[in-house]
Structure formats: C-alpha cells, structure tokens
Structure 1
Amino acid sequence: MTVTALPTTREEDWRYSDAEFLKQADPVVIHNWRTVTVLAGETVREVQNYLPVDHPDGVMERVRVHVGAGGRFESFATLAGNHYGRVEVEVTLEDGAHFEFGGVTLGGGDSVQEFVTRTKHAHPNATSNQVIRAVQWGKSVGNFLGRIEVARDAQKTDAGQNFRAILLEKGATANTKPELEIFADDVLCAHGAAIGQLDEQARYYMAARGIPPHIARKLLIQAFIGDAFAELDDAEQREAMLDHALAALDAGAM
C-alpha cells in the first residue's frame, strides 16, 4: 500500500472498520505511525482516554513499539463515543520483555470503535497479556483484532488475549478476530472471547437486596470494564480510567 492509498474494508486488518470514514480520511493521518522505544530493563506506560469532547473528528492512533530485553511496555486505553475510533499497537519483544494491554470500547448510535494489536514475540522468555472489554448499545460496533506471532527461536513465550463484550441493546455488535502464528514448540499461548448481555441473575440478586435497577446495571458494567485496567498498578490512574468510562456511559447508555 502506498502512502497515498487508503485502506478499505476488503483488507483483513480493516474488515470491521467504518467504510465511510476510510473513504474520506486523510492518507497522511491514516499512515502515520508513532514510534516508541523501551530500553532494556526499563518500563514505559501509556494511559489514554479518547473521548468525543477531545476528538470530535474521530481517533486514529497507530504506534510501533520495540521493547528491549527485560523491558516492559504497558498501554491502557478507553475509546468512547467517537463516530470512528481506532487504536492500533504493534509491539516487538526482545528476550524477557513484557507487553501489557488493557482496552475498553464504549459506544452508542452508529459509532465504531476498535483495537488492533500485533504482538511479535521475536526472542525467548517474553510475555504478553491483553484484556479488552466492549460495551455497546444503539447500532454501535466494538472490535478487537489481535495477532500474536511467535518466532522459531522464541521459546518459553507466554502470551494471552481475552476479549469480552456486553451488548446493552439489540442492534449493537461486537467482533473479534484472534490470530496465533506459532513456530516455537515450548510456549504458552491462549485466547478467549465471549459476547453477550448483562448477567440477569446478578441483576435479580441485587434487586432482591434493594439495589435500584439503574445502580445495579452501573455496578455490573463497572466491574466488567474494570478487568481491562486490573493490571494498572497506579490506583489513582486506574480510578481515573474507570471514572472516564462511567461518565461516557452516563452520557450515553445509562
């Protein structure tokens, strides 16, 4: 693909994207990759809340990360309410490096939000963990495309992906496409996915104890999306992420 060409939904990595957005997008923005280098033994953490008030024209964030031996890169992000939002992270891990990713999509109307990750376990002993949660209503779409590549010499790799979505209304959609490409034989690689509605049994249990339905719903969603930020060990940042997510829900679906 040339720098002037725009991707289309016929391409695998863009299959669930918003076709109309892509037709009108600026090629320079689409093809702009930010680069991050994590030196050996160091830790870099990025925490982002992509909210409509800050990104009225949508979100397009693409970042390439190289993590040195024994280094750690953490990325936590919320995509909420933009007509189209895409956060794409491509990470290459050296010996003993770690990649931690936690993402939440929140959307109503006809919005589309997606996380796309590509994790390259290029050397032995590297680990990665990705937890994505989607809460969709209206006719919105929440997507996760995650690819894990394990090179032939990358023994002792331990990689995992977990995607779950709650659809609050009929018409909302969630899509996931996990991919594992493994050439080493001494590895642990796993992925899981589940798409459904709020736990009605839990709502009934809470209602039976006098908790109003709207409060019960909010508490259940808070616990659900909190999984994505569980590995964020800064309590203040973690609470701020949850507050932003719940505020987006209050403005839309609650």
Structure 2
Amino acid sequence: MPARTSRQWHRGAGCGAGDREVTLIARPTNREEDWRYSDAAFLSTAPIETFDDWRSVTVKPGAVLRETVQAGDAAPSAVTRCRVHVGAGGRYEHFATIVSGPYRRIELEVTLDEGAHFEFGGVTLGGESNVQEFVTRVIHAQPGATSNQVVRAVQWGQSTGNFLGRIEVVRDAQKTDAAQNFRAILLEKGASANTKPELEIFADDVKCAHGAAIGALDQTAAFYMAARGLPPEKARALLVRAFIADAFAAIDDETQRETMLEDALAHLDESAL
C-alpha cells in the first residue's frame, strides 16, 4: 500500500527552461491505517525515499513463481515493498521469515488476473523491543482467482508482531476464493501482536474468510507431553515448531519447506520458552 504522494509543477528558470513535475513523498505516521502499528521512531527518522521504493514483479499467464525470504537474508532496507501482477492462470508464492529489528516490514501488493493464485506464508520471531510486520493487499481483479495467506507470530520480551491484510474483490471478479489466517503466540508478558484484516467485496458470488487468534502456548498440550516424559522446554519447543510450520505447509518441495522451518527455528530464543 503506497504512501500517499503529491505532485507539484515547478517552472524552470532561464532561457529554454520548461516546466518539470516533482513528486513529493508524504512521510507516513501512525495516524494512517496502513502504518498504525509501525515503529514511530523509524517513521519519523528514516530517509524519505524508503517509503516509495517499490520492486515490481510480473508473473506471465500460466507461469509459477515462488520467492522466499529466510531469517538470515540481508535486506537493503528495514522496509521491503513489492508490487506483483499475476497473469491469467499464473501462480505467485511468497514465503518469508522476519527475525530482525528494531523495525522490519515486508509489504506486498498483488493483483490477480482470471484464474490466478497467490499463496503467502509469513513468520515473525521477535524479542527485545522489535516491531515486525507483514502488510498485504490482494486485488482480485478478474473472475476465478484465488488467494491464501497464513501468518504466524512468536513474540517474547517487549516485541510486537503485526499482520495487516487487505483483500479487494472488484465488481466483476465472480468465483473469487480468498482466505487469510493470523495466529500469534506470546511467550512472555509484555510481548504483543496486532492484526487488522480487511475485506472489500463488490462481487456477489465469492468466498472470503479471515481468522485470528492471539494467546499463550497451549499449556494443556505441554502438560500432556511432559506427563509422557518430555522435558517441559522440549515440549514447548515442539509446540512452537508445529505452530510455525503452518506458514510453510503450502511449499510443495519438502526440502525447501524443511529449510525454511529450520532456519526460522534457529532464531528462536530458547530462554523464552
């Protein structure tokens, strides 16, 4: 979701100088819905061009593209923004893990043509006072497109994990099937999570669903495993592993799926379990 911009015309000075258009980028603040839970200090001090730096991706009709971001992948900026256009019958998959801080945001704006599909899986793992968030906008622009988004957050310390997901279904995009699901586990008192699902639907023959849950580890399950001989810390680690695995379940390559999962778990603070 792009930061709002304004344009001004500047008249050139001197012989032969013409008019030129200058685009002014508006600095976002927490008063804007798309940035409500973002780190206020970062928003006020980051270079202004950070908020208008978009990467563009095109998936040709019938093609399949999968992009992954592992926990240790270096990012050129604390804010990564990407616009994706998926042609008819194409498929775009994006799986990402965020462990860095103090602020990290991955934002995707995806437009789906007829029969296209978007699959998203995201994990935030945060300690200290880190703020980590995924922001998505999925535009079902033509009939028969589908999308599925699964985000899992595991937070400890004073960290925050966020997911802002917006689904737009245009008037003629019948037979749309879209879903998003967010769940968060707070390992310590003081950690937090926020979610803001949005559905804007103008077609009448669609399936759109969203779900969210935020809480602590399932102590009943942990007690059940401990009663059968598993050390408490091992039981809790297994629960977190199963929880995170949901976000990568749609990766059909078993090796890649396990790589993403193990990479995320390597950054889990065992002292918080």
TM-score by length of 1: 0.96
Provide Cα deviations, 1:27-86, integer angstroms capped at 9, x if missing partner. Answer: 2222100000000000010010244x835x862110000000000000000001321110
SS of residue matched to 1:152 = coil
Q: Could you say which residue in structure 2 is the equivalent of 1:183?
A: 202
1:125 pairs with 2:122: no
Q: Spell out the pairing of 1:1-254 with structure 2 (5 A cutoff).
A: 1-2=4-5, 3-51=24-72, 54=74, 59-250=78-269, 253-254=272-273
Deviates more, 1:5-14 or 1:244-253: 244-253
Cα RMSD for the two superposed structures: 1.4
Q: Which runs of 5+ in 2 are unaligned?
A: 6-23
Report deviation, 1:243: 1.1
Whether the aligned pair in 2 keeps the contact of 1:38 and 1:68 (CA below 8 Å) is yes
Supply the distance in 2 between the matched residues of 1:167 and 1:24 (Cα, whole angstroms). Answer: 29
Supply the distance in 2 between the matched residues of 1:107 and 1:145 (Cα, whole angstroms). Answer: 17
Provide Cα deviations, 1:144-168, integer angstroms capped at 9, x if missing partner. Answer: 0000000010000000000000000
Q: Which runs of 5+ in 1 are unaligned?
A: none
Deviates more, 1:242-251 or 1:9-18: 242-251
SS of residue matched to 2:166 = strand
Supply the distance in 1 between the matched residues of 2:148 and 2:120 (Cα, whole angstroms). Answer: 6
Deviates more, 1:8-17 or 1:57-66: 57-66
Whether the aligned pair in 1 keeps the contact of 2:71 and 2:264 (CA below 8 Å) is no
Whether the aligned pair in 1 keeps the contact of 2:50 and 2:77 (CA below 8 Å) is no
How many residues in Structure 1 have an aligned counterpart in Structure 2? 252
AA matched with 2:179: G
Per the alignment, do residues 41 and 27 of structure 1 end up closer, same or farther by CA in structure 2, a change over 3 Å counting? same
Supply the distance in 2 between the matched residues of 1:35 and 1:58 (Cα, whole angstroms). Answer: 16
TM-score by length of 2: 0.89
Whether the aligned pair in 2 keeps the contact of 1:108 and 1:137 (CA below 8 Å) is yes
Supply the distance in 2 between the matched residues of 1:112 and 1:129 (Cα, whole angstroms). Answer: 24
Whether the aligned pair in 2 keeps the contact of 1:6 and 1:25 (CA below 8 Å) is no
Query: Larger radius of gyration, structure 1 or 2?
Result: 2
